[in-house]
Structures are given as C-alpha cells and as structure tokens.
C-alpha cells in the first residue's frame, strides 16, 4: 500500500558518517510552509489512500511539535486519511523530553525511530553525535512512559577502531531497552574499517545475538520482533508507490516513474525544482531483483512478467553456480540470498548483473 515520506533536512550538527541531505540551519517555518504547499499540490498523485507516514531527516525532532502537527494534519487532510496504520518519526535522543514525547502522541505518532548508533560515549563523541549513551537510555524510558511501545533503535558497526567486544556491548545495551525493532548499518566511506573479515564477523555476531533474542531479520540491515517490521520501509523494497515531500525527497509511482526534489533548501522553498526518470523494462527487471534480494523473503518468481522470467532464464549458468556455492537459495517459487550471505549480497547481485 502507498506511503508518504516527509524530509526535514535540519540538524544541530553533522555526524561524520552522514550522507543524507541535511544542513545546520533553523529556518524551519518557511520550509514547513513550502512543505504544506507541496502536499496540497500533489494530493491527487495517489489513486488509493496512503497507509504509512514517515518523518525522516535530518533531525525531525529538532522542529517544534506545532510545526510537525501542521505537516501531519496536511497529510491527513490532503489524502483523506484519519489515522495512518504506521506513523514513524525519527528522533535524536537528546531531543526527547516528556513534553516532546507527549506531543508526538497527540500528533498521532505510533512508532519512533531513535538514532542511537552506539552506547559507547567515546565512539559517540568521535561520530560527532550530540547525545550520550545515558541520554539514549533515558529517551527510551521517556517514550515508554508516554505510551510508546513500538520503538526502533539504530546502531552502526564496521568503523575504524570498533572491536568485537565493544560492538557486542552496544548490542546488549540496545537489547536491554527491549525495542521492537533494530536497524544496524555498516559504516561506509573514509571512516569504514578496512578489515572486511572483522566487519563480516561483527555482522554475523549481530545476526546470532538478535536471533537468539527473538528478533527476525527481514532485510540486510533490519531486524524486528514478529509483526513489528517497518511497514513503510518494507514498501520500498517491494516497489510499492510512495510520495516524498521536502528537499531531496524521492517518489515512486509503483511501476516505472521515479522522481525527486532538488536537494537544496533555498531552491525548494523558492520554486521546488524536481527531476524525473522513466525506467526501461531492463531497469525495472534489475530493480525488482536487486531490491527483493535485499530481503530475507527474496524474490517471488510470480512477481515477474513473462519477459522478466525469460531474462532470468538467461542467467541459468550463473544461478546454478551461485546455488552450488550456497550464495543463492532457489526453489520453484522464489529466489533468495541465505542469511549468512547477506553481508556480501552486493557482490552476489553483481554476479547476476556484471555490467
């Protein structure tokens, strides 16, 4: 089912690893006015009502709740939705106060994604995070007191100087907070650990520990207690339609048209320039495989058109090799990468599309 994404590209400071569009600014009101106008202008772009709403960033929790309320209200009014099945807001731990948590409840938020990243204060300072480990734990407690039971925690592994013991200590402290969902991302870029075997081991340790704690892995970086998977993000991987509002936000019609707003706050406020592309048959086919193979369910062969099934049949020698080496599991209904191969899924997928 369709979803709505709203991008708030504001941060109090920039973390060393972040490559999302965000700026250290506070001109929130003109940006929100532009958001409200975009939502009004595009309210006829979905044929059925959206079921999920996601406020991401940047740092949505920097904004006053009254502004967040205006945007949420515009989404409800514009798309004829009284309540979203899943309404997520990303927060930074040090922004979470009792008053803010209660305001989120009143806005209608029912899922909160908390950017923890680590429970080691030294690592947090190195990442240029604004919060401490204690503040992350306090944020969870504050949100629970406000009535939130669907909490998601973000963690990062695979960076310079992270050893297995420190990594697992963060995982244990995350589990102690009893979240419903955990997202774990490998750091990329200049700060990434060059020891691929250590990164692979940390990923495997994470998989084993979360599985033992009742979590199910449903995508490369995402784990949830049964029934607590992110509905909004899952729609991205299954190519459901979604609309993205705000500077740098992307949209997809669920078929072959992708579009995006300019990643520039000032240009967005002034005239909202955007780009668009129409995917070819080959691009749609490759995208279906690449997105589905990120998930533990994998690719349902019934989702392919006859032409796409013929394309896949041409890869039979490669599929046979990947099956024999244990990198691909396939049966009459599906194609998937086993859990112990997800860490190197990019390489496995490249075998299918070497160009």
CATH number reported for the structural domain that contains residue 334 in this entry: 1.10.10.920
Do both 197 and 292 map to the same domain? no
Considering the domain boundaries, does residue 157 fall inside one? yes
Considering the domain boundaries, does residue 242 fall inside one? no
- pLDDT band for 12, please (50, 70, 90 cuts): confident
Do both 232 and 287 map to the same domain? no
pLDDT at 13: 80
Considering the domain boundaries, does residue 245 fall inside one? no
Considering the domain boundaries, does residue 25 fall inside one? yes
Do both 227 and 327 map to the same domain? no
Residue 352 above 90 pLDDT?
no
Give the domain-ending residue among 202, 236, 270: 236
- pLDDT band for 211, please (50, 70, 90 cuts): very high
Give the domain-ending residue among 181, 205, 236: 236
Do both 59 and 184 map to the same domain? yes
Do both 56 and 136 map to the same domain? yes
pLDDT at 21: 67
- pLDDT band for 329, please (50, 70, 90 cuts): very high
Q: Mean pLDDT of all residues in the chain?
A: 95
Q: How many domains does the chain have?
A: 2
Considering the domain boundaries, does residue 264 fall inside one? no
- pLDDT band for 151, please (50, 70, 90 cuts): very high
Give the domain-ending residue among 211, 236, 261: 236
pLDDT at 1: 81
pLDDT at 26: 81
Considering the domain boundaries, does residue 34 fall inside one? yes
Do both 201 and 286 map to the same domain? no
Question: Looking at residues 202-209, what average pLDDT do you find?
Answer: 98
Q: What is the pLDDT of residues 234-256, one digit of tens each?
A: 999 999 999 999 999 999 999 99
Q: What percent of the chain has a predicted confidence (pLDDT) above 90?
A: 89
Do both 285 and 226 map to the same domain? no
Q: What percent of the chain has a predicted confidence (pLDDT) above 70?
A: 98
pLDDT at 23: 77
Residue 6 above 70 pLDDT?
yes
Question: Looking at residues 135-155, what average pLDDT do you find?
Answer: 98
Do both 27 and 140 map to the same domain? yes
Do both 48 and 178 map to the same domain? yes
pLDDT at 17: 77
SS3 letters for the chain?
Answer: CCEEEEEECECCCCCCCCCCCCECCCCHHHHHHHHHHHHHHCCCCCCCCCCEEEEEECCHHHCCHHHHHHHHHHHHHHHCCCCCCEEEEEECHHHCCHHHHHHHHHHCCCEEEEEEECCCHHHHHHHCCCCCHHHHHHHHHHHHHCCCCCEEEEEEECECCCCHHHHHHHHHHHHHCCCCEEEEEECCHHHECCCHHHHHHHHHHHHHHHHHCCCEEEECCEEECCCCCCHHHHHHHCCCCEEEECCCCEEECCCCEEEEECCCHHHHHHCCCEEEEECCHHHHHHHHHHHHCCECCCEEHHHCCHHHHHHHHCCHHHHHHHHHCCCCEECCCEEECCHHHHHHHHHHHHHHCCC
303 is written with which tokens?
A: 């989702």
pLDDT at 355: 61
**Higher per-residue pLDDT: 265 or 27:** 265
Do both 296 and 226 map to the same domain? no
Do both 47 and 183 map to the same domain? yes
Q: pTM for the whole thing? A: 0.96
Considering the domain boundaries, does residue 250 fall inside one? no
Do both 19 and 163 map to the same domain? yes
Question: Looking at residues 96-111, what average pLDDT do you find?
Answer: 98
Range of the domain at 343: 280-355
Q: What is the pLDDT of residues 21-68, one digit of tens each?
A: 667 778 889 999 999 999 999 999 999 999 999 999 989 999 999 999
Considering the domain boundaries, does residue 16 fall inside one? yes
Residue 16 above 90 pLDDT?
no
Q: What is the CATH number of the domain that holds 184?
A: 3.20.20.70
Cα angle vertex 260, ends 256, 263, to 5°? 160
């Amino acid at each position: 089912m369709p979803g709505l994404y709203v991008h708030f590209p504001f941060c109090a400071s920039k973390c060393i690893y972040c490559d999302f569009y965000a700026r250290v600014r506070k001109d929130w009101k003109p940006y929100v006015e532009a958001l409200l106008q975009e939502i009004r202008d595009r309210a006829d772009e979905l044929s059925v009502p959206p079921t999920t709403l996601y406020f991401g960033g940047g740092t949505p929790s920097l904004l006053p709740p009254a502004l967040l309320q205006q945007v949420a209200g515009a989404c409800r009014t514009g798309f004829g939705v009284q309540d979203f099945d899943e309404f997520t807001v990303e927060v930074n731990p040090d922004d979470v106060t009792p008053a803010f948590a209660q305001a989120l409840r009143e806005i209608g938020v029912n899922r909160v994604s908390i950017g923890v990243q680590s429970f080691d204060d030294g690592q947090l300072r190195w990442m240029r995070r604004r919060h401490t480990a204690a503040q992350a734990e306090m944020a969870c407690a504050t949100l629970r007191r406000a009535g939130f039971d669907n909490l998601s925690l973000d963690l990062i592994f695979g960076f310079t100087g992270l050893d297995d013991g420190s990594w697992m200590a963060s995982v244990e402290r995350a589990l102690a907070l009893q979240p419903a969902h955990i997202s774990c991302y490998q750091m990329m870029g200049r700060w990434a650990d060059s020891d691929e075997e250590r990164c692979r081991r940390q990923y495997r340790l994470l998989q084993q520990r979360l599985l033992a704690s009742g979590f199910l892995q449903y995508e490369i970086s995402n784990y949830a207690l049964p029934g607590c998977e992110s509905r909004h993000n899952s729609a991205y991987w299954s190519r459901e339609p979604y609309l993205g509002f705000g500077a740098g936000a992307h949209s997809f019609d669920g078929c072959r048209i992708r579009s995006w707003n300019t990643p520039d706050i000032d240009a967005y406020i002034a005239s909202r320039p955007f780009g668009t592309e129409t995917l070819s048959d080959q691009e749609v086919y490759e995208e279906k495989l690449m997105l589905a193979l990120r998930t533990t369910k994998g690719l349902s062969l019934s989702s392919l058109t006859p032409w796409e099934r013929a394309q896949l049949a041409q890869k039979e020698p490669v599929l046979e090799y990947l099956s024999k080496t244990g990198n691909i599991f396939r049966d009459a209904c599906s194609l998937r990468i086993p859990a112990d191969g997800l860490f190197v899924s990019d390489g496995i997928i490249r075998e299918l599309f070497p160009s």
